[in-house]
A and B are shown apart, each in its own frame.
Chain A
Amino acid sequence: MEFLKKLFVDPFVEMVSYPDFLMQVLWEGLVSGVLYSLIALGFVLIFRSSRIFNFAQGIMVVFAALTLVGFHAMGIPAWVSVIFTLGVMALLAITIERVVLRPLVGQPDIILFMATIGITLFLIGGGELIFGGETKRMITSDLGIPTGSVDFEPFGGLLILQHLDITSVAAAVVLVTGLLIFLNKTRMGRAIRALGDDHQAALSVGISLRTVWVLVWFIAGVIALMTGIFWGARAGVSFALEVIAYKALPVLMLGGLESITGAIVGGLAIGLLEKLFEIYWGQPLLGGGTETWFAFVLALIVLLFRPQGLFGEKIIERV
């Protein structure tokens, strides 16, 4: 009986009793969710256009952030360093297309997936050789990203919003909006979507596979840079940032690998739900640490009913 009370009554009583704390939990969940969405978006864009599950997305976050910090350490102004870093990510996209993907056109998906594991190992080794393994400080203030916080007192309580978190949410919204406009309103954006919808048909009307691949890998690089800036600003830039990419896996399972909407909704849903579950159920009933598995269980439940994810395409194969 006591257990049932803890399960069905206590959490809601606490939410109502301390609404300011609930708002803080929701805010932290939203911030995490936005960043999960961003990472998931990088995966989705590449998968849509090439059917490649990009295992290297996590290390691209580290590589982009380290490159930015590295350029700045050479005395280059912060925003010029950002431009240089974008140049490096573009170069990386071109190199990957030329050296890794082009020779593997037509190969089974698993071969392309293995190739991205190779890219991951290459970027880990190269990154450590060039930048070293020490934690670097993100150039947050040099980029003009505000630090500090703003306090609110809803219902007589306390809600603390970090300027960094507000900025990261705003920047993510701008980036995602820009991406959606690009994908829906521009010629190249439509080409990416066309490739995602039907490879053969897209190629038959003259869409260049090579150009699109370079473009999506570059966009994934831009997303990686932005993710690296905001996550790196929290606890430093190190190779530990790579592991946050794994947080995007249940987002992809939940939202569907091909769906941009799925990545956004899935990321936000997992960010919010895992935080709510951890605080109100996980910590009191299970001793905490539920964030490591909650998102996967949630995704698993969704997959039981919708194997293609919430927004994924239902594939019907005729034989």
Chain B
Amino acid sequence: MKKLTSFAAAAVMAITAGAASAEGLSTPNLSYRTGPFAATGIPLMNGQRDYMLMLNARDGGIGGVPVDFSECETGYSTEKGVECYEATKGDAIVTQPWSTGITLQVLPKTNVDEIPILAPGYGFSPMADGSVFNWAFNMPGSYWDAASMILNEISGNDLSTLSGQKIAFLHLDHPFGKEPLPFLENMAEEHGFELLPIPVGLKEMQNQSAQWLQIRRERPDYVVMWGWGAMNAGALTEAVKTRYPMDQFLGVWWSGHDGDMEALGEAGTGYRSISYSAPQPDAQVMADIREYVFDKGDSLATESELDWVFYQRGLVISAMLAEGIKTAQDHFGEGEITASQLRWGLENINLTDERLAEMGMTGMVAPFSTSCSNHTGHAGGWMLQWNGSEWEVASDHLMPDSEAIRPLEVAAAAEYAEANAPWPIADCE
């Protein structure tokens, strides 16, 4: 019955999104609780929503101003996402597009509308270059960061050891899946390993036998997965079926969903997923979520979901947005900040260990700071490993290879600006 009520609430929320918003800081979320990607979207959206509800209930919002956290349902469809952006941008101080495809579509629009895009850990990796992408933020890490950390992990931090090896790149045939390809191709050329891109079409997500027959034939040393939604469960099932060694199979942070792994159980033991967030069930913020939201029956999440990686990542995502808002409020001395003031706030986040402790989120995300020229923060992350029943943090804190990534980011950003000229360039000096 709770589920029915929850989804009725979610439906009403989706229907009302886009209508005149309530008072407060309008932070619309272009969510997807329906469609083929709903299973992975729901816990993330629940975490985001619960954090904002908790701030409203505990602190009266941010800086005393309540947060108006509405959702507009996209179903992960780029077309619907653009419609949602247009419908919610009116009084929004931020847009959260929740898909690389939607992010790429609204990127030029946000320049005109002057609304910051917050795409934590997704979107276009060169968005890191804030001088070109003035309004776009993808902290605390980009896809190129994730790919770099995965390569560091499998090479023991010495990429020259990958020379002569073969790495299969199993990816969703979608802008999201193709995003890390330029970086991986560059690394393959530089370090002498063979990169084998294997696309998975949307209609093949649940039947990847052809892709895994290719993996069986090619015998790659590692399989790196850029999967989302039903593709993850499909790939993991086929990996078990093909008897591919799980400890040679790694995924991006969107390919590490508890729901998928629970269905696989023991068979998935050894699979690893890079993650910019780490679940901390005993963190103070979790106690606050329970006290101010969950126990009051205001959450759409289930009890078991609260400890999931994706739910707690949702909390981290809203916490980063809240920190950007707070930074702007403190700087401008105003509670009801504007979108351009939030942009300043997001460009000046300084999330230290001390600040994370104050927020009750120690260990949930690594400390990082942003600047005018650095919109990603490059916080690094951890390698999570499935032990048969839950995720465990299986590495020390990992960092991407910024020396290799930065020149590529700058070059790709410049190329984008040139292709979309005239494109405003900010002076970050």
Contacts and interface: CB of A to CB of B under 8 A. Distances in A.
Interface of A: 21, 24-25, 28, 31-32, 124-125, 128-135, 137, 149, 160, 162, 231, 234-236, 238-244, 246-247, 274-275, 278-279, 283, 287-289, 291-292
Contacts of A240: 36-37, 39, 205-206, 229-230
Given A240-B205, A287-B199, A135 B210 contact: no
Given A132-B7, A135-B260, A289-B173, A279 B203 contact: no
Interface residues of B, number: 46
12 contacts: A21-B216, A129-B7, A132-B6, A239-B38, A240-B229, A275-B213, A288-B197, A288-B198, A288-B211, A289-B173, A291-B210, A292-B173
Given A28-B209, A292-B201, A236 B42 contact: no
A179 to B, nearest CB: 23
Which of A28, A125, A288, A292 neighbours the largest number of chain B CB atoms within 10 Å of its CB?
A: A288
Contacts of B263: 135, 137, 236
Main secondary structure of the interface of A (DSSP, over half): helix
Nearest to B36: A240
Contacts of B233: 135, 235-236
A243 B203 contact: yes
B428 interface: no
B234 interface: yes
Closest 3 A/B residue pairs (Cβ): A133-B38, A240-B230, A240-B36
Given A289-B201, A292-B173, A234 B259 contact: no
Nearest to A151: B243
Interface in B205-222: 205-207, 209-211, 213-214, 216-217
B42 A129 contact: no
A132 B8 CA distance: 10
Interface of B: 3-4, 6-8, 11, 33-39, 41-42, 173, 197-207, 209-211, 213-214, 216-217, 229-230, 233-234, 237, 241-243, 259-260, 262-263
Contacts of B234: 234-235
B199 A288 contact: yes
A279 B259 CA distance: 31
B259 A135 contact: yes
Contact of B213 (A24, A125, A137, A149): A24
A234 B205 CA distance: 11
A239 B36 contact: yes
A291 B217 CA distance: 18
A32 B211 CA distance: 14
B204 A292 contact: yes
Contacts of A238: 36, 38-39, 230
A131 B207 CA distance: 23
Contact of B207 (A132, A149, A160, A234): A234
A99 B234 CA distance: 37
